Amino acid sequence: MFSRLQWLLLQLSRMLWVRATAFSVLGILTALVALVVKQYIPNHLPATIGADAVDTLLQIIATSMLSVTIFSLSTMVAAYASATSNTTPRATHLLLTDSTAQNALATFLGSFLFSLVSIIVLQTGLYGDTGRVVLYAVTLGVIIVIVITLLRWSDYVLRLGRVSPTCDRVEAAATSAIRRRRASPYLAGQPREAGETGIPEGTMPIKTDEFGYIEHIDMQALQETAEACETEIYLVALPGHFAGAAQPLARIKGALPEESIRKIRKAFSISASRSFDQDPRFGVCVLSEIASRALSPAINDPGTAIDVLSRGARMLSLWSENHPHAIEVKKEDSIRFPNVHVPPLELEELFDDFFIPIARDGAGLVEVGIHLQKMLLTLASLGDRRYLRAAARQSAHALARAEASLSLTDDIVRIQQAAARVAKLADA
């Protein structure tokens, strides 16, 4: 589990300007290092290797990298607009924080600043003949880095903003969040029952004046506060929940000083939007939104919805204990914050987040309805009773929607037959 500071540093590292600034500073330092190293270069070496060519190389880098940077930025903006219109605006966050695109832009910008500073220092004559040798060697290294980055970038930019690669990114982010929560289903805290039944009577609610979604919970800070005050903290809101005056963040035993209450509130990071890191449901919702957008009359792409259904089934299966690659959770190793009681993430909620929007928007398409029932049958076949109940419930609801939307009797019968297989498995 990340502490609040670690989580903030992680968010900072994903920002484009941070990586671009780091590469730019590195480029400037690289240009200036020749001033320090030149004293160790033999005087006869410049004439031997022809270091005078560095002026031309730096001019080429300076002019070309500025153009490439502007072109890359415009390409990324167009790709983000395409992803917003063809998939969902929530998916663009993953594109904005993509390391490949950020590294490419940072390399281009850093190379431009390197060449610019080198040209300025060259004009002052501070390098001298021996300094030119060092600058020449460094410039060749920069050119190699630029060529490798351009080759990767030219392949990457062709797929940027397309529906299928965007689905890959959303699935990967959601899968990663599910795996992390599966490995630590109670955020390394003390397990408690869902709802109000797992909270003792007489506990005091901890509320917040902020309105927004919980992005991260600092479990270490909560544990330290609970130990210092000799109390128990019962989480009410998990990452992804909307926080506000009517929704308490947590409940505590007894009365605490105002300073301790402020520490508890500070452990909850609240933002205007949800994030993928600690919120598996958000990734599931975003993937479902892509299918819903594909099923809209403006796009009318049932093939994408069918592809998303397959991805969702693969993703949701990871929560089952019967999955072939299920992560073993040892209770004694998973509880690192015993004074913080955490409710479970309900499987029914994951199924609702994913299947209900697709069943609603695809109710009038027989191919989508049949594939949805097939994916529910696949999940029900895992042999997990929770999956059987959730799949049977979603199957019945999807069948009812299809029966209300389809007009051809043969189409309705085909979906009824597919739904009957799910119901039969659940009743067995």
pLDDT tens digits, residue range 340-358? 999 988 899 999 999 999 9
Mean pLDDT within 320-325? 69
Average pLDDT, the chain: 85
Which pLDDT band, with edges at 50, 70 and 90, does 44 fall under?
low
Cα separation, 264 vs 302, in Å, equals 46
pLDDT tens for each residue of 359-369 = 999 999 999 99
- Most trustworthy range by pLDDT among 125-129, 155-159, 278-282, 367-371: 367-371
Token pair belonging to 195 = 């709802």
* 29 in Cβ contact with 243 (< 8 Å): no
Cα separation, 305 vs 372, in Å, equals 9
Cα separation, 382 vs 178, in Å, equals 17
Token pair belonging to 340 = 């913080």
Tell which CATH classification among 3.10.20.30, 3.40.50.970, 1.10.10.10, 3.90.1170.30 matches the domain 186-271: 3.90.1170.30
* 148 in Cβ contact with 155 (< 8 Å): no
Cα separation, 268 vs 239, in Å, equals 9
Token pair belonging to 321 = 């204990």
Element at 206 (helix H, strand E): strand 204-206
Res. 333: pLDDT tops 50: no
Closest by CA to 351, choosing from 301, 399, 307, 386, is 386
pLDDT tens for each residue of 92-101 = 888 878 888 8
> Quick one: 355 exposed, middle or buried, by C-beta within 10 A (0-12, 13-18, 19+)?
buried
The CA-atom distances, in angstroms, between 187 and each of 5, 173, 299, 343, 382 are 17, 18, 39, 9, 25
* 284 in Cβ contact with 349 (< 8 Å): no
Res. 1: pLDDT tops 70: no
Strand 337-342's sheet: what is its strand order? Answer: 189-191, 337-342, 233-235, 250-252, 204-206
Please report the pLDDT score of residue 329 as a whole number: 57
Cα separation, 170 vs 307, in Å, equals 13
pLDDT tens for each residue of 273-307 = 888 888 999 999 999 999 999 999 988 999 999 99
pLDDT tens for each residue of 178-228 = 988 888 888 888 988 877 777 888 889 998 888 999 998 999 999 999 999
Q: Domain spans of the chain?
A: 4-161, 169-181+277-329+345-427, 186-271
Strands (E), 316-409: 337-342
Please report the pLDDT score of residue 92 as a whole number: 82
Q: Report the amino acid identity of residue 77.
A: V
The pairing of beta strand 189-191 with beta strand 337-342: parallel
